[in-house]
Amino acid sequence: MRLRLVPEETHIDFFKARKVTFGASMILMVLSLVAWMVMGLNFGIDFRGGTTIRTQSVHAVDVGAYRDALQPLNLGDVAISEVFDPTFAEDHNVAMIRIQAQEGEESVTNETIQSVETALQGVDPDIQFTSVESVGPKVSAELIRTAVLAVGISLIAIMFYIWLRFEWQFSLGAVVALFHDVILTIGIFSVLQIRFDLATIAALLTIVGYSINDTVVIFDRVRENLIKYKTKPLQDVMNLSVNETLSRTVMTSGTTLIALIALLILGGDVIRGFVFAITWGVIVGTYSSVYVAKNIVLMLGTKRDWSKPSKTEGNQYANIDN
């Protein structure tokens, strides 16, 4: 017996409320952009420049006392937050201290780090610095440019690939769906103020790859069915194609989410932002493959005569005229 999460044959009308689903997606994209502009992103040290110090102690973290101890050092913008994780033991108290890049310096000097440690030991003698990461302002600015360029080039390359493999309508639908996934991910990071760093950029690129893979699988089935059913309305062909690939979509997304949720819960705070981005991306990417990419193609229409040379020409579709 084989495990089936969906029946072998389904007849779900995915486009019954297509105006509602597509409209909701567009509204969420606008709200995400507004949240991004109004609330901004909680940039990590990679993009802001400065130094991040991770501390650990057997005593509870007192953020107010830490801040008062560092105030006389005149370090500028200092952000202190306690790190919570279900995997931590009772005596495992972790804090994250972010210090802005100092004027005229590429990073916080060793003397400054030593003075920070001395000041905090006055509050908690058992405090330890488990990691110290520094990024200069020039490097952080370069990283931002490189990150934007990486995401932009990937979207352009995907659009060109889909255009060559299918038609321009499919290419536009795929790229709009990818923009939808990326913008909604940035939006939820802005609303929840989750740290946005280089790992998040890697997650965005992973989301783009995962989403386009699911979209291309369905597009392939749509093309096959357009050849097979030459007179069936485009909406019906797309519905049939999504239903035929539904089992594969659910199994792929489901097994991926099982691993991601396990990492989200047990993986620790260091990779939590990265894992959360991919988890969210898998969900919205699966949704956009059906309710965004296919809606764009449906609105634009596409040709029904796929007369390009093909290895299958003259065999399985040769005598089908329904």
| pLDDT tens digits, one per residue of 27-70 | 999 999 999 999 888 877 667 777 888 888 888 888 888 888 88
Instruction: Place 306 in a pLDDT band, splitting at 50, 70 and 90.
Output: low
Fold of 18-42+140-300: Multidrug efflux transporter AcrB transmembrane fold (1.20.1640)
Per-residue pLDDT of 194-252, as tens digits, reads 888 778 888 888 888 888 888 888 888 888 888 888 778 888 888 888 888 888 888 88
In the predicted structure, residue 175 carries a pLDDT above the cut 80: yes
Which of 78-87, 103-112, 123-132, 302-311 has the weakest average pLDDT? Answer: 302-311
Task: Please tell me the predicted confidence (pLDDT) of residue 269.
Answer: 67
- For residue 291, is pLDDT > 70? yes
Nearest to 130 by CA among 145, 120, 144, 142: 120
Helices (H), 166-245: 168-192, 198-228, 234-244
Task: Give me the pLDDT at residue 316, please.
Answer: 37
Structure tokens at 237: 């062909």
What pLDDT, on a 0 to 100 scale, did the predictor assign at position 7?
A: 65
Residue 102 pLDDT level (bands cut at 50, 70, 90): low
Q: Which residue ranges does the chain devote to CATH 3.30.70.2040?
A: 50-135
Of all residues in the chain, the percent with pLDDT exceeding 70 is: 84
Rounded to whole angstroms, how far apart are CA atoms 193 and 38? 12
pLDDT of residue 33: 92
The architecture (CATH level 2) of 50-135 comes to 2-Layer Sandwich (3.30)
CA angle in degrees (0–180, nearest 5) for 222-224-226: 65
Summarised one tens digit per residue, pLDDT across range 5-14 is: 666 677 778 8
Residue 310: the pLDDT is 43
Closest among 308, 307, 300 to 234, alpha carbons compared: 300
Every domain range in the chain assigned CATH 1.20.1640.10: 18-42+140-300
Those residues with Cβ within 8 angstroms of residue 171's Cβ, 6 or more apart along the chain or in another chain: 159, 160, 162, 163
Q: What is the mean pLDDT of the chain?
A: 79
Backbone dihedral region for residue 89 (phi beyond 0: left; psi -120 to 50: alpha; all else: beta): beta
Q: Is the dihedral of CA 225, 23, 182, 82 positive or negative?
A: negative
Dist CA 135 CA 178 (whole Å): 30
* Per-residue pLDDT at 311: 46
Query: What pLDDT is stored for residue 245 in this prediction?
Result: 82
What is the widest separation between alpha-carbon atoms in the chain? Answer: 85
Strands (E), the chain: 42-43, 50-57, 78-83, 93-100, 128-135, 195-196
CA atoms of 301 and 288, how far apart (whole Å): 18
Give CA–CA dist 271/275, Å, rounded.
6
Contact 97, 66 (CB under 8 A): yes
Mean pLDDT of the region 138-148: 73
CA-to-CA dists, residue 314 to 270, 311, 318, 319, 320, angstroms? 56, 9, 5, 8, 11
Tell me the mean pLDDT in the region 294-315. Answer: 61
Q: Could you tell me which residue, 284 or 45, shows the higher pLDDT?
A: 284
Rg (CA), the chain: 25
pLDDT score for 136: 64
Question: Can you tell me the distance from the alpha carbon of 247 to that of 214, in angstroms, rounded to the nearest whole number?
Answer: 12
pTM listed for this prediction = 0.71
